[in-house]
Amino acid sequence: MVVEAGHFALVLALALALVQAVVPFWGAQTGDGQLMSVARPAALVIFGLVAVAFAALMYAHVVSDFSLVNVFENSHSAKPLVYKISGVWGNHEGSMILWVFILALFGALVALFGRGMPDQLRANALAAQGFLAATFILFILLTSNPFARLVPAPIEGRDLNPILQDPGLAIHPPLLYLGYVGFSIAFSFAVAALVDGRIDAAWARWVRPWVLTAWIFLTLGIAMGSYWAYYTLGWGGFWFWDPVENASLMPWLAGTALLHSATVMEKRDALKVWTIFLAILAFSLSLLGTFLVRSGVLTSVHAFASDPTRGIFILAILVLFIGGSLTLYAWRGPRLKPGGIFAPVSREGALVLNNLLLTTACLTVFVGTLYPLALEALTKDKISVGPPFYALTFGPVALVLLCALPFGPSLAWKRGELLGVAQRLSVAAAAALAIALLIVSLRRHGPILAPLGVGVAVFIILGSLIDIGGRVVKRGASLSVTWSRAIGLPRSIWGTAAAHVGLGVTVLGLAATVWGVELIVTARAGNTFDLGPYQVTIADVASREGPNYRETYAEAIVRSGGVIVAHVEPAKRFFSSRQTSTTQAGIVTLGLGQVYISLGDANADGTMAVRLYWKPLVTLIWIGAMIMAFGGALSLSDRRMRIGVARRAVTARQLPQPAE
Amino acid sequence: MTRKGRRLALIGSAVGLMALAVGLILFALKDNIVFFYAPAELAEKGVQPGTRLRIGGLVKQGTVERAPGKPISFTVTDNVKDVAVTYDGLLPDLFREGQGVVVEGVLETKDTFRADSVLAKHDETYMPREVADALKKQGLWRGGTAQNGPPTTQSQGSP
C-alpha cells in the first residue's frame, strides 16, 4: 500500500512537472502573470510528491519488503539498518530516485528563495527545471521503476553488493548528487536568460549562491569518494583517473571556472556570454557523468545495470539537453549584449586566465575519458588511458594554474599593478623556493615532483595569507584596529583565501605521496617489519563472525622506537550471500600521516600476504578539500550573497529609472 | 591598446592556449595509451616483447601458484591461446580461477607477461566487458547477460 502510494506520487509528480515545464514558460512568453505564478506552487508540490515516493522506497527497504524487485535484488533481512537505508540509493533505480529528489529539492528552494528576481526570469528558470524533472521522472517510470513488484515474493533478498556496505555509501552519493544536480540551477537560469534575451550583473548575483552551494557539495563529494576508494580497495590509492572519477572531476573544473567568471560578471558586468556558456557546460558535464556511470558503458562499481534501453534513454536525454541548450546558446547568445572589455593585468584578467586554464584542464580530462570510448566505437581497438597521459596533459596545465593562483586575489580590479603584486608575493615565492631547495638537498635522488609540489603548495598558502595580511595589517595600527579591520573584511574575501589555502594543503598532501613507504610481505603471526619511522608487528591472525559476513583479521601493533603507538585490525570479509569478499584495510592516523595495512590471501604454509604502507601527510589531501569547502561556505555566508540583499540592490537600481 | 586590440589579444591567447593543450594531448596519446588484447589476438598481432599492454581472459583452472618469496604466477587464457603471467603483489578480492581478469604490464617474451596491476573489474557474472567481447569474438561466449551489481577492485604491485 505504501509502495503503491509512492509509485502514484511519482506519476503525479511527472504530470505536475509537465505542467511546470509548459505553463510558466507560456506565461513568460505572453506576459501573463497568473500563468507565470503557477511555477512556484508547482515546484513545491513536486518536491513533496517526489519526497513521498522516496520515503516509500526507503520504507520498503527498511521493512525488507522483498515483493519489490528492487529490494529483493539489493537487500537482505540481516543487513544492518544503516545499510538498509543507504542501500536505497546503492542501486540503479534508487540512485535515480535520489537524483530526482535532489533536483526537486533545488527546484523548491528556488521557488522559496527566488522572490527578489524578475518574474519572467524565475518563471522561465522554473520551467526549465520542470522540464528536467519531467524527463528524469519519465526515465525512472519507463526504464528503471523501483516500485516494480515480484510475484511470488521471495523470502530472502540477494543482499547489497558488499563493497557498498560501508558508511561511505550513506554520505558519498548524496553529497555528489547535491553537487551534480546543484548545477542544474545555473543551467536553468542560463536557459532562462537565453530565452529572455536579457542578462545583466544581477543575474550573476542570483546564480552565484547556487553555483557556490553545488560546488561546495561537489568538492566534498569527490573528496569523500576518493577517501572511500582509498580505504576500501586495499592498496592505498586515492585517485585512479578512472572514467567514473573523471566524470565527477569534469563538472568540478567547469563549476570552479563558472564560480570565478560569475564573480567577474557580478562585479564588472563582463564575460556575460562566456559565463552563460560555462553554466551550460557545468551541468552538461554532470549529465555526461550520469550517462557514463549509469548507462553501463563503463564497467565499474558505480555501473549498477547494463540494460541497453536505459543507456539509449539516457543518451537521448543527454542529446536533448546538451544539444538543445547549446543550440539555444548559438541562436540567442549573439543577441545578448556583450559586456565590457578590460585590461589584461587586472583581477578580471587574472580570472580570465583562471577560466582558460580550468577549461583547458577540463578538456584534457574530457579527451582522456572519451577518446578510448570513441576509438572503440569507431575501430574496435580497445585501449586504456592511464595516469601517464594525465601527467603529461593535465599536469602542466594544473601546474601553471597553481603558480598563477596567488597573483589573482592580490591584483586590483580594473587596473592591477603586476610589479607591486610581485613585490608583495616575493616573500612567499622566496620561502617556497627555499623549502623546495632544502628538500632537493636533503633527498638528492628523489623525484623532482615532490619539491616542486611542496614549493607550489607553500607559495599558494603563504600567498593567500599575505594577501589577507595586506588587507588587515596596516603599519602602525594598534592591535584592536587590526582586529576590527579583520572583522570588517567581507567574508567572501576570507572565503576566497580559505579555499585557496585548502587547495594548497591538498597539493601538499599530493606531493608528499612520493615519500610514502610500501611493503608487500609474506607474514606469519609474530613477524615484525620496519615501515618508515615505525615498526609493525603482526601479533595474531584469527577469524570471527559478523552480522552477514565472516572475517579473517590480524592484530597488528605499531611501535615507534619501542613504544606502542597504535593497534590496527586489518581484515578480509567474506559475504556468503553474494560469494564475494572485501578487504577492510587497517588504518591508523599518526600525526598527519597514516599507517595502512591490508591483508591478502593466505598461503598454503600458513603465511599470509600483507601490504603495509606508511603514508606521510596523506590526510592533508582530504583536509585540504574540507578547507576548500569551508572557504566556499564562508563565502556563501557573506552578506552580499544573501538573496534578500540582491533584491534590495535591484530595487535601488531600478528606482531612479522612472525619473528619467 | 584599443578595445579591438584587447579583444583580439584575449581571443588570441585563448586560442594559443587551446592549441598548446591539443598539442600536449596528441603527444601524450601517441605514447601513453595501452592496448587491450585477448591471448589469441596477441599471438595474431605479433606484438614486440617490451610493449606495455593489457591482456584479458580467464584465469585458467589450477594454474595459480603462490609460493612465499616469489611472484604469484597464473595463466590467462581465451581457450585458444595461453599467456603465462607473473605478478608481484596482492591479488584483488575478486580474483578467482576460472573467472575473468584483466592484467596490465609488460610483455617479456612472446607468451610470458609480467603484470604490475591486476584488475578484477567485472560484473557479478565475473566477466570483464573487454573479456566478454573478446570471447564473443572467438565464438566461445557461453551466454549469461549481466543484470546488476558489478563490483570493481583493482590491485597494483610495486613497480
Q: What is the pLDDT of residues A72-81, one digit of tens each?
A: 988 888 888 9
User: What CA–CA distance (Å, rounded) separates A165 from A86?
Assistant: 9
Same domain for B70 and B124, yes or no, is yes
Q: Do A304 and B66 make contact, defined as CB atoms within 8 angstroms? A: no
Whether residues B80 and B143 share a domain: the answer is yes
Nearest one of A83, A17, A75, A72 to A50, comparing CA atoms: A17
- Asked if pLDDT for residue A660 goes beyond 70, the answer is no
- Let me know whether B17 and B77 are in one domain: no
Q: Are residues B15 and B75 in the same domain?
A: no
Which amino acid makes up residue B36?
A: F
Q: Pick A393's closest partner by Cβ from B18, B25, B152.
A: B25
Q: Report the complex ipTM.
A: 0.76
Tell me: do B93 and B21 sit in the same domain: no
**Record: contact A305-B122, CB cut-off 8 A:** no
Q: What is the pLDDT of residue B148?
A: 35
**From A21-25, A135-139, A405-409, the region with the lowest mean pLDDT:** A405-409
Q: Is the pLDDT of residue A651 over 60?
A: no
How close is the nearest chain B Cα to the Cα of A309, in Å?
Answer: 13
For chain B, the residue count is 159
Q: Note whether B65 and B24 are same-domain residues.
A: no
Q: Quote the DSSP letter at residue A656.
A: T
A315 within 8 A of A291, measured Cβ to Cβ: yes
Q: Do A163 and B90 touch (CB under 8 A)?
A: no
Residue A415 vs residue A595, higher pLDDT? A595
- Single-letter amino acid code for the residue at A470: G
Band (B9; pLDDT cuts 50, 70, 90): confident
- Average pLDDT of the residues in A62-86: 90
pLDDT at B143: 42
Task: Check whether A534 has a pLDDT greater than 80.
Answer: yes
**Domain match, B81 and B135 both:** yes
Cα angle vertex A210, ends A194, A24, to 5°? 45
Identify which of B31, B54, B147 has the shortest CB distance to residue A384: B54
Cβ contacts (< 8 Å) between B18 and chain A: which residues?
360, 363
User: Do B28 and B72 fall into the same domain?
Assistant: no
Average pLDDT over residues A431-445: 85
In this predicted model, what pLDDT tens digit does every residue of A186-240 receive, in sequence order? 999 999 999 988 888 888 988 999 999 999 999 999 999 999 988 887 777 888 8
Out of A605-609, B95-99, B115-119, the most confident range is B115-119
**Beta strand A550-560 pairing with A534-545:** antiparallel
Contacts of A271 in chain B (CB under 8 A): none
Min Cα distance A74 → chain B (Å) is: 9
Q: CA nearest A314: which of A341, A296, A326, A298?
A: A296
Instruction: Tell me the three cell numbers of residue A376.
Output: 572503440
pLDDT tier at A415, thresholds 50, 70, 90: confident
User: Do the Cβ atoms of B6 and A343 come within 8 Å?
Assistant: yes
Cα torsion angle, A267, A272, A276, A281, sign: negative
Rounded CA gap, A353 and A341, in Å?
14
Q: Which has more pLDDT, A433 or B122? A: A433
Mean pLDDT score, A564-591: 86
Most confident of A176-180, A482-486, A572-576: A176-180
- Nearest residue in chain B measured CA to CA from A572: B93
Q: Are residues B85 and B146 in the same domain?
A: yes
Mean predicted confidence (pLDDT) in B76-86: 87
At B75, which CATH number? Answer: 2.40.50.140
Residues B50, B8, single domain; the answer is no
Q: Are residues B3 and B75 in the same domain?
A: no
Check if the beta carbon of residue A98 is closer than 8 Å to that of residue A86.
Answer: no
Residue B4: which domain range? 1-33
Q: Are residues B4 and B49 in the same domain?
A: no
Task: State the residue for C-alpha cell 594548497.
Answer: A504
Cell output for A253 = 573544473
**From the CA of B93, how many Å to the nearest CA of chain A?**
6
Q: Examine the pLDDT at B126 and tell me if it is beyond 70.
A: no
Domain count of chain B?
Answer: 2
Q: Is the pLDDT of residue A242 over 90?
A: no
Q: Kindly report, residue by residue over A134-164, the tens digit of the pLDDT.
A: 999 999 999 889 998 888 888 888 888 787 8
